[in-house]
Chain A
Amino acid sequence: MTRYLLDVENPNLDGYEKAGGYQGLARALSMEPALIIEEVKKSGLRGRGGAGFPTGMKWTFAAGDPKFPKYIICNADEGEPGTFKDKAILEKNPHILIEGMAVAARALKAELGYIYLRGEYPKGKDILQAALKEARGKGYLGENIMGSGMRFDIHVHLGAGAYICGEETALINSLEGKRGQPRLKPPFPVNSGLWGRPTMVNNVETLANLPFIMRAGAAQYVKIGDPGCPGNKLFPVSGHVEKPGLYELPMGTTLREIIYGQAGGIKNGKRLKAVIPGGISAPVLPPDAIDCPMDFVSVQKQGSMLGSGGVMVFDNDTCIVRVAHRALEFFERESCGKCTPCREGTSWLRAILERIETRQGREGDLQLLEDVSRNIAGNTFCPLGDGAASAVLGFLRHFREEFEEHIKNGCPFGPDDHTRTVIAR
């Protein structure tokens, strides 16, 4: 995915074509839609949005629904803190996404696609619009794609800044002009999505894997990375490392390799204190867990999740309570308000963490944090609340003493600017 943008000097259509761009689409156009889905199934590609659902299977569901028209939606509402992988594709290699969507459209016989773009990515919108224009000009989109008679076009829709709209049904609501709140499932979007029609929602990175699978074939693809979960994965690495940035590595690369081998280790010679392996919703891991291979199954075994693959690294001078508080500020603000436990629970958790960080913690607060988190977990309408609860439980599991220390003696790291603002408020 990143190869193209590294191989060519400028990420325009010429460069993309030179690097083999749109050859995957050309092959897809020569194939029966059902065979494309077969190929994707064989590739073992799993969704890169966070849940890791097998892409081919999802496509089978959408293709199996007799209703038409069908829609393709690219979920580019990349709102997970610590995650900036889709941004790179959107801004630096837009054609790989367009090609991927066109392949998906071919497979599902869809004629219209939408890119639901995170509201904070206006630059991406301009780049995408320009790329779409280029693609239409060359006949990669439009009424008669590459002379095959296939019709497909893509609209870009800029979101309004809600994390929840990364959840596919909330995204569809938002796209329809409604309040961004998740819908009841079933029916799933593959059967009743946008305007009640079968709709395939795929993450940017998932779609960006398709051109290679189509061009080189599933047989080649499964050779990359972990055989149980093949392909490359984009790892956005942030925090206290020497070389933060985006890394494309085979699925199953260990956290140690990512942090120390690729990102240059902990900044300023400090020690690793904690790492969040897959965006803020993934529970934190302690330093002794970093030999864990980064794939869906292994990270789950460690009690966390691969999620978006957003690796957030914290050094030994980081206050974990503060991290937890910031995380919960995020969840509280982004909770859509639809279901009780998430709406009320996230704000309660934030308030407790705020007290602990600002030296107003009490005995029993940790028990309360655990209780509230457990009351949220598993009882919410969508995974947002679960994410908040498991984040808190993760921090408590690995850093309980630090919380206790806060309650007894206050924050050992002293207040930072943000905490001062919170206190002032």
Chain B
Amino acid sequence: MISITINGRKIELEGPVTILEAARKNGIEIPTLCSHPALELWGGCRMCLVEIEKMPRLQTSCTVTAADGMTVYTETPRVVAARKAMLEFLLINHPLQCPTCDKAGECALQDLTVRYGAVAGRFEEGKRTFPENVDDPIIVRNMERCIMCTRCVRMCDSVQGASAIGVVGRGARSHVEPFSGGRYNCEYCGNCLNVCPVGAIMSRLHRYTYRPWQMDKAVKTVCSFCGVGCTMLLEVRGDAIQKVSPAFGKGVNNGLLCGRGMFGYGYVGSPERLKTPLVRKNGKLEPASWDETLAFAASRLLEIKNRHGGRAIGGMAGSRCTNEDNYVFQKFLRAGFGSNNIDSVARLGLLHAQGLLEGLFGQGAAANVITGIAGSDAVLTVACDPAQTNPVMGLQVRAAAKAGRKVVTIGHARGLRRHRTHSLPTVFGAEGVALAGLLKELLRMKKDSLPGENLELEAAIKEFKLPEPEETERLTGVPRAAISDAAAALKDVSTSSIIAGRELAASMDARRNFMLLAAIGYIINARFFLISERPNEQGLIDMGCAPDLLPGGRPVSLHTFRESYEREWGVKLNPEPGLTLMEMFEQAGDAVRAMYIMGENPAFNLPGGKKIMEALEKLDFLVVQDIFMTETASLADVVLPSKAWPEKEGTYTNLEKRIQKLDRALEKNGETAKEDWKILAGIGKHAGLNNMPYAASSDIIDELARVSPLHAGLRLKDLEQEGMMWPYKGKPLGMGGHVPLLPPMRTMAKAMTTDAQMPGPGPAVEITGVVLEIEKPLFHSGTLSRHSGALLDIVGGPEAKMSPETGKKLGITEGGKVKISTANGEMVLKAKIEKGLPAGVVFAGNNFREAGALGLFGYELEPESKTPVPMVKDLEITPL
């Protein structure tokens, strides 16, 4: 225990903290400008000077660690005089633009001036000037306002790891500039402007549109872009989001945001939002009233049920919809129409990946806290690019790298290229081979001395037939020395994190891939994280939006589980698992006559695009609920406008399996649209279903808590602060007497080893030629991002990216047109030559209309899980 005295008050401290922290924790305010809890100690602004007994000079409280017996004074005349002096220094070059500066009202310097400032200045020389810089579409710099606290630079450098900006010049002429000059070449995380205490670096998105005190409210909510589930504040005025601001100290992200989260909110207010229900009449979608549309949809669905049975109806739940929406969705189909044909984008890999991991290690195997990644001795990423798809989780990996930990990437992790210690840049599809090679090396180095904690798994590991190094090198294109080095880096770590992408499960070798991953994870004592690209992809699984699972992950086929749901819902449930996602499309017009698609765009977001379109056209009846007129919605018979993320209440479950609460921020925006669950309940009512009597989304959570053993006892108020981490208050499967879902490990391991064949490279791979890979860029993720003005300003359209060598090989130059054609179709894209990309790969995204590269892929189904494995046939990439 450390005991110090501040202003005569005795303060007991648990551990060593700075005087500033000690003071703040005890309600003693010390003004600061350069210090920030997310950043390293700096001591530059000198505002926090305090007097410490026995020290002749004033000390910066932000840098001095409190020592036992210290006596500190924070407001003596000497301290106040020094503070006034520092403020005077800061103001001599600071322009008095408060009347026109957006920051006025929430400016730290302004606040301090009110408190300590002199009535008149004594500086009569000319102020330093810098022209305002508006070369960038998003960020504006007014460097004469800069007080050189360097929070932005430190944020960019040490937290974001982007190192895109720096201090230029010396002394009073110091200022901050992006290394790229006027326009930023950066990740647009916006963390620089979020930590700027003055108006030197600001967002152009809301420039000159309001004064901070005119803001109606700031609503704490969870981001709508990816599965990390960052906490953020939506600042609202006039029922519109004026800006997104960080919530430091809160959530998994502790105030950090990414470009999409920070600047991508524009889609909410987009004029292209769907406003009224649309019904297809004479081949054309026509506006219709809600009541009419709901009644029509209900009657058509009933008609199909009556004619073909409930199983003729299929549903795709929404990864951007809330748990409440998705719970009601599966109940609507199961209890209302007797159909288990319910699936989602989790089928593209997450579901299978999670199933395989949980089969090996038990339910919740991937329910780990993201903030633990930075503290791992090593991080292994496989078939994913966390810094692009889940940027704030990527920051955790970068933090680990910064702390000198080992970071090994398998596959193309562009967002970690400057941070990782070891790269195994194997081509898409061959990650499993690299894993096998890595395991082989690990076993060789460990001389088979394994941890000894799970003998069953160890026996299985020792039976693995792993490829010889030269074989691995041939199949992956990665030099064997690199694999050996990576193994050496990993072999002695005591804790580690493994982050795996869904592509590892979207493979014919999925089971083997995960067995290898589990073996490596076991040896290096890893916690697992599965990439989740959508905000509520995990929630889809947990809410029972899968053909074989009820909410809480309970198999629908087991009577003991079904029973409690039947009791609550008041109907008998169909015990037979339904069709999986791709099966529904494959059987469209045949066994499947109608589909209900909620907040998803399968015509664009699934491999085999053209085929999916054709399937949708074959249906007797298609209902689509969405916020925009998507490729899928334009094929629908009924289009129902749903409310967007800030317009509704509910919960999301992030990739940690943490349930977090969304709060309604906008009241009138999207007024004519309805919550997804309300639409479903409305149709249900028209269809005579009386078991969805919800008045508010909280009623749904209450029902979930009654019926799902995993969510037993869950209350909305439990989620107020940090959300709630798995397993909540409930009973996970595989614990407390429940049977595990998947065959025991030994059986699974046997299944692996009886098949002597080792994984070969995936079908999209041609080691010698050029391959096509789907780019998952930082700034776009499809349906939402393409309606966000700011994100379009950063990257305005689709591009085919390749390294200079690849460009040369293909005869393609920067800005030129590239034609990419496959057996599935063709598209023309603008070429972007980018240094640092792996050779022999052309990257194309799946984000812009008419330019969805996923549509160029066909697929085959992995037999066990029916996960579509993307395949490219007859690839040709030529300059135009």
Contact = CB atoms under 8 A, between A and B. Distances in A.
Interface in B41-86: 41-47, 49, 57-58, 63, 82, 85-86
A345 B46 CA distance: 13
A368 B122 CA distance: 8
A375 B82 contact: yes
A378 B56 CA distance: 9
Q: Identify the 5 closest CB pairs spanning chains A and B, nearest first.
A: A337-B174, A375-B85, A335-B171, A344-B89, A347-B172
Contact of A340 (B46, B123, B173): B46
Interface string B749-774: 00000000000000000000000000
B170 interface: yes
Nearest to B47: A340
Contact of B90 (A340, A346, A347, A380): A340
A179 B58 CA distance: 26
Nearest to B56: A378
B46 A339 contact: yes
A338 interface: yes
A308 to B, nearest CB: 22
Interface string A334-375: 111111111111111001100100000000000010010001
Given A348-B123, A381-B46, A336 B171 contact: yes
Contacts of A162: 170
B753 to A, nearest CB: 46
Interface in A323-343: 332-343
Contacts of A346: 171-172
B11 to A, nearest CB: 22
Which one of A179, A355, A380 has the greatest number of beta carbons of chain B within 10 Å?
A: A179
A379 B174 contact: no
Interface of chain A: mostly helix, strand, loop or mixed: helix
A345 B89 contact: yes
Nearest to A378: B57
A184 interface: yes
Contacts of A381: 43-44, 46
B125 interface: yes
A336 B171 CA distance: 5
Given A338-B44, A381-B44, A344 B170 contact: no
B788 to A, nearest CB: 35
Contact of A339 (B45, B93, B166): B45
B542 to A, nearest CB: 44
Interface in B131-187: 147-148, 150, 166-167, 169-174
5 contacts: A335-B170, A348-B123, A378-B58, A381-B44, A381-B46
A351 B171 CA distance: 14
Contacts of A344: 89-90, 92-93, 172
Nearest to A386: B57
A335 B44 CA distance: 13
B438 to A, nearest CB: 29
A269 B107 CA distance: 61
Given A333-B170, A379-B86, A341 B46 contact: yes
B88 interface: yes
Given A351-B125, A380-B46, 16 more contacts: A179-B166, A179-B167, A184-B41, A333-B171, A337-B171, A339-B46, A340-B47, A340-B89, A341-B89, A343-B171, A343-B174, A344-B90, A344-B172, A346-B172, A348-B123, A379-B46
Interface string B220-235: 0000000000000000
A347 B43 CA distance: 20
A170 B543 CA distance: 57
A399 to B, nearest CB: 23
Interface residues of B, number: 33
Interface string A169-185: 00000000001000010
Q: Helix, strand, loop or mixed for chain B's interface?
A: loop
A343 B46 contact: no
Contacts of B42: 184
A351 B41 CA distance: 32
Contacts of A351: 125
B169 A337 contact: yes
A184 B64 CA distance: 10
Interface in B103-147: 122-123, 125, 147
Nearest to B169: A337
Contacts of A332: 171-172
Contacts of A341: 46, 85-86, 89
A342 B174 CA distance: 12
A161 B43 CA distance: 24
Nearest to B82: A379
Contact of B88 (A333, A355, A375): A375
A326 to B, nearest CB: 16
B172 A340 contact: no
Contacts of A347: 171-172
Max chain A CB contacts within 10 Å: which of B46, B49, B63, B93?
A: B46
Contacts of A379: 46, 49, 57-58, 82, 85-86
Contacts of A340: 44-47, 86, 89-90, 147-148
Contacts of B58: 378-379
B634 to A, nearest CB: 54
Nearest to B45: A340
Contacts of B88: 375
Q: Which of the listed residues A339, A345, A371 has the most CB atoms from chain B within 10 Å of its own CB?
A: A339
Interface in B486-530: none
Given A375-B85, A378-B58, A337 B45 contact: no
Nearest to A331: B171
Nearest to A196: B404
B144 to A, nearest CB: 13
A157 B341 CA distance: 70
Interface in A175-212: 179, 184
Contacts of B93: 344
A339 B44 contact: yes
B94 to A, nearest CB: 9
Contact of A375 (B43, B63, B89, B125): B89
